[in-house]
A and B are shown apart, each in its own frame.
Chain A
């Protein structure tokens, strides 16, 4: 039977469609982005599972797909590794002079993480000397979230400017938090503050005016009564 050009074209079209529909990774040795249990994926054999906030997880493993030995998929298998995230509240006050700003560091455990977390604080900025930032006290996670206090102090010799305060952490195994080091900013200014709002002087002035006004009212009433 003679094959017509139309049949050849049809065959090419069918093969092309199959290739286009099938996963591109089945043609090579790289792994597919296949979502697996708990929504974690890995991008290549040996890579860590992601997203990290779900858990460090196990290292992705390549497995064959179906009956084709050349087709590989990357899967995150096994129980996720206990890990933790770090959160840092805003440093308050945002402006300091010769005082200190504080922030709360919170260790948020997941996948059953427990243990001690050590912190390191670094301050970076365009000007020097920068505010000081002692390493915050370690936090111990026993069940829920654990907290520690971050303090950034400035003195009269601290240069004015805006500084970035970064907190890094490691657990007992030397592992960093899944979401990495966290930062906040603080500004140093030695300009004298003025609080608006009147305060005590405004209150005293008001009371004095009120007393004068009341006395005047009283005097007027009594005078009218006496004249009657």
Chain B
């Protein structure tokens, strides 16, 4: 006689219902969209300059031939790179504000927290841009070097925000 097979839990995919988001989640998501939209209404010239300056300096320290062309444009190894708003991560930071804001804390504490987050965000952005520059200089396609790496950087920020959240994501049943 053969022994009965080990019982394994079976997943009934048809029975899976997608969880419903809480109202707070929806409100915060709406604010994220609003904040990002608002971000793109400003030129952010100073931040584009600072970002391009950081990339320029780091690239130069790595032995690349660099030159500044304009406030937002740099030349690295003869190639012109223009720093757009998305390149500064300011959209990511602004979009993070509604997700990081803790309604139970004071304005000052929330502001301090946001400022504390802004610095590592800027650092992460510069690092990913510089890695993109190095990869591109070594022959990697720009789409891969900048685009895919950028996607991973956004995802890293998302994981951070997910762990830092102070609000219920799903509606309580």
Contacts and interface: CB of A to CB of B under 8 A. Distances in A.
A197 B87 contact: yes
A165 B147 CA distance: 37
Interface in A187-228: 187, 189, 191-206, 208-210, 213, 218, 222-223, 226-227
Contact of B87 (A196, A200, A206): A196
Contacts of B69: 95, 187, 189
Given A223-B11, A226-B9, A205 B148 contact: yes
B158 A206 contact: yes
B86 interface: yes
Contacts, number: 106
A205 B147 contact: yes
A194 to B, nearest CB: 5
What bracket does the count of chain B residues touching chain A fall in? Answer: 35 or more
A34 interface: no
B146 A197 contact: yes
Contact of B154 (A192, A202, A226): A202
Contacts of B63: none
Contacts of A187: 69
A209 B151 contact: yes
Contact of B82 (A196, A200, A206): A196
B139 interface: no
A203 B142 CA distance: 15
Interface residues of A, number: 29
B34 interface: no
A200 B150 CA distance: 10
B80 A95 contact: yes
B143 A201 contact: yes
B80 A196 contact: no
B147 A201 contact: yes
B148 A201 contact: yes
Contact of B150 (A95, A205, A210, A223): A205
Nearest to B78: A191
Given A202-B154, A205-B152, A227-B9, A193 B82 contact: yes
Contact of A210 (B9, B73, B142, B158): B158
28 contacts: A95-B80, A187-B69, A191-B79, A191-B80, A192-B79, A194-B82, A195-B84, A196-B132, A196-B146, A197-B84, A198-B147, A199-B147, A200-B147, A201-B143, A201-B151, A202-B149, A205-B147, A205-B148, A205-B154, A206-B150, A206-B151, A206-B154, A206-B158, A209-B151, A210-B158, A213-B155, A222-B11, A226-B9
Interface of B: 9-11, 16, 55, 69-70, 73, 75, 78-88, 129, 132, 142-143, 146-155, 158-159
Question: What are the 6 closest A-B residue pairs judged by CB atoms, nearest first?
Answer: A205-B151, A201-B147, A198-B150, A202-B150, A197-B86, A197-B87
